[in-house]
Amino acid sequence: MTTSLAGAKIRFLPFNRGNGTAAGNPPVEAGNKTAYLWEQVWARDSLMDILARYLHLQVEEKKTAGGKTVRTETMIFPRHHQLDCVHACEADARARGAGCSYLIQHSAGSGKSNSTAWLAHRLASLHSAADEKVFDPVVVVTDRHVLDKQLQDTICQFEHRQGVVQRIDEDWQRLADALGAAVPIVVTTLQKFPFVTKKIGELPARRYAVIVDEAHSSQGGESAAHLRGVLAGRQLAQEVELSTLIELINERFGTSFSPADELFFSQIREEAMADEALQQAAAANTLEAFKTVFEPALESLFIGRMERNETIAARFLDDADFRGAVSRLIMQQVRERCAGRRRRSEGQARAGRLALPPGALRRSAPRPSCRTAAAGPT
C-alpha cells in the first residue's frame, strides 16, 4: 500500500492482517486470503469513514545542516492493524462504557503516534447506543518530562477546530483548567498530576478516557498514583518520595537537580521532623495553621545548610515560587510522618491496655475486582 506514486522513491507499507505472531494473512476456508480488503476495508461505509476520519496530511518541518527549513508533506492512510486496533477499542468502549482497561501492543515503526491520535479523536466523540456521550475529556499521557513533540503534533494535526485539543507542556495550572473546562482532548506529561491534587475539590465529576503512552514504564511510582487520584476525584494519602520531588521541581522550574541532590533535601526533611516544636505543631494544628509555623523554620534550615548546597539554598531563598513549591511538598511529608508517628504511638498505648479475645482480629477476604482487561490487536 502507498499513498504517493514517486517513481523509484515510492515506498510501500504492508496492509496484511497478520497471521498470529507472523507476517502475512491467516488461512481462510474459502476464497482469497486478501478478500478482507474489498469485503471490509473498501466497503462503502468503511471507505467513507477512512476518508473522513483517518486520512490526513502529515506536515513535518526539519532544518538542514545549513539552517534552511525543509517542509515535507505525507498523506497518511491507516494500515490494517491500526484500523483493527482503533475499531476494536471503540466498539468495546461503546458497548461497555467507561471503567475498562485495555492493552495495545505496538512494535517499533508500526505507527504508534498515529494510532494514539486516531483513538483519542474517536473516543472524544464516542456515543453509546442510547446516544449518550461515553467519555468527557480524553487525556493522553506520556511519562517523558518534555511532551513528545511527534505525539502532540500528530494529535493536533488531526483536528483544526479551535479548542478541541489542548497540549499542556508548560504550566500545571493549565492542566487543572483544561480538566475543569472539559476540553475534549488533553495531551500532557505524567509529572504534572501531583501539582493538580490540590485542585481536586474544584474538578467536577467526569468520565475520563486515559491513553497512556509507553504504559510499561508509566504506571509505577507516585506520579501515576496522583494521575489516578486526580481523575478519580480523591486526594492521595501517600507522601511524595524525594526522587519524585526532584522530578517535580525540575519539571516545573526547568532546573537540572540530580538524584545526588536528594541527600540535601533528605537532611532538611529529617532535621525538620526531629524538631519537637514542629512535631507538636503538626499534631495540634490544621495544615494552614501548621504552614505559618513550618515555613519560617524551613527557611532557617536552608540558611543553616547553605554551605552544603549553595545552588539549591540560593534558589530557595531568592525565588518565591520555588520556595513555595518546595515548602509545600516538604511540609506535606513532615506533617504526614509526624501524624503517623502519633497514631502509631497512640495505637501501641491502646494495645497495651486492651485484652482482645482470640480470633478478634481476622484478615478480611480480598474484595473481587470489577475491572476488565482486554488485549488489543498487535
SS3 263: helix
Q: What is the DSSP letter of 34?
A: T
Q: How far apart are CA 299 and CA 301, in angstroms?
A: 5
Q: How far is CA 272 from CA 137, 281, 291, 293, 339, in A?
A: 41, 12, 13, 11, 14
Q: What is the DSSP letter of 19?
A: B
Question: pLDDT at position 92, please?
Answer: 92
The one-letter code for the residue type at 270 is E
E strand or H helix that includes residue 374: strand 373-375
Q: How far apart are CA 105 and CA 94, in angstroms?
A: 21
Question: pLDDT at position 371, please?
Answer: 36
The one-letter code for the residue type at 117 is A
Helices (H), 125-261: 149-157, 172-180, 193-196, 215-218, 221-232, 242-253
The pLDDT tens digits of the residues spanning 265-299 come to 877 887 888 888 888 888 888 878 888 889 999 99
Q: Which domains does the chain have, with CATH numbers?
A: 78-238 (3.40.50.10810), 243-347 (no CATH)
Question: pLDDT at position 300, please?
Answer: 92
- Positive or negative CA dihedral for 191, 194, 199, 203? positive
Question: pLDDT at position 298, please?
Answer: 92
Q: Are 118 and 211 in contact, with CB atoms under 8 Å apart? A: no
Positions of the chain with pLDDT under 50: 145-147, 216, 218, 220-221, 235-240, 347-378
63: cell is: 532544518
DSSP-derived pairing of the beta strands 101-103 and 209-212: unpaired
